[in-house]
């Protein structure tokens, strides 16, 4: 059987944590689609020695391999910013479409998290969640994550990075970040991880 759970929302709202937990709970495969754009951005930046050439970014997206996605430096703020720049290029998005759709329809169920999963990649997904949280809570969470990973940054810098990225992701012409009309809203501002996961599991159980 195939069963797709689409989880969208802005950066640092808790999508990744919720997606991993529900995938584990139901035994579904999980794809963090942000990693695809991060890997394309970082590789295109390296090849272009600091400058992103759109044609090169498209080529990188077409030739993306598991090894590129498994790099350890994709979680940095720089990778996030670069990802949101290449993610605004229609040819890059088109190059990554088939892979994501095949993943979504694989046997045994799949959870995909990103920005356009419920709207563009899998409009027919059995369950759609839009996970969000207040700007202040998201900035604080991302700041704590980066600090724990040893990054030298400030709360202000993290908040500003998230604002820029959210704006670019919501304002772009192609596949902007949007809540699908039939997506269930999950606001995690005042929820513990366990409570958020419990709500997500309940929504999926209803449809299974």
List residues near ligand C5P by CB under 6 A: 11, 33-34, 37-38, 80, 83-84, 87, 114-117, 165, 169
Place of tokens 């050439």: 53
- Of 52, 147, 152, 51, nearest in space to 92 by CA: 52
Measured distance CA(26)–CA(5) in Å, rounded? 11
**CA-based end-to-end distance of the chain:** 11
* Residue among 81 and 147 whose Cβ is closer to ligand C5P: 81
* Residue among 90 and 208 whose Cβ is closer to ligand C5P: 90
Least distance from C-beta 97 to ligand C5P, angstroms?
10
* Residue among 136 and 208 whose Cβ is closer to ligand C5P: 136
CA quadruple 23, 163, 191, 75: dihedral positive or negative?
positive
* Residue among 6 and 184 whose Cβ is closer to ligand C5P: 6
| Four-point Cα dihedral 62, 87, 178, 141, nearest 10 | 120
Least distance from C-beta 9 to ligand C5P, angstroms?
9
Least distance from C-beta 68 to ligand C5P, angstroms?
14
Least distance from C-beta 165 to ligand C5P, angstroms?
5
């Amino acid at each position: 059987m195939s069963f797709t759970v689409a989880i969208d929302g802005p950066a640092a709202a808790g999508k990744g944590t919720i997606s991993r937990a529900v995938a584990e709970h139901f035994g579904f495969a999980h794809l963090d689609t942000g990693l695809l754009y991060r890997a394309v951005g970082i590789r295109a930046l390296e090849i272009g020695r600091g400058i992103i050439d759109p044609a090169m970014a498209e080529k990188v997206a077409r030739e993306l391999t598991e090894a590129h996605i498994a790099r350890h430096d994709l979680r940095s703020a720089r990778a996030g910013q670069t990802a949101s720049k290449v993610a605004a290029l229609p040819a890059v998005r088109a190059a990554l479409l088939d892979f994501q759709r095949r993943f979504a329809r694989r046997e045994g169920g799949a959870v995909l998290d990103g920005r356009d999963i419920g709207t563009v990649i899998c409009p027919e997904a059995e369950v759609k969640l839009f996970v969000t949280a207040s700007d202040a809570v998201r900035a604080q969470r991302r700041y704590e994550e980066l600090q724990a990973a040893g990054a030298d940054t400030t709360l202000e810098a993290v908040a500003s990075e998230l604002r820029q990225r959210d704006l670019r992701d919501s304002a772009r012409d192609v596949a902007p970040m949007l809540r699908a009309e039939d997506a269930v809203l999950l606001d995690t501002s005042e929820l513990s991880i366990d409570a958020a996961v419990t709500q997500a599991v309940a929504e999926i159980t209803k449809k299974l």
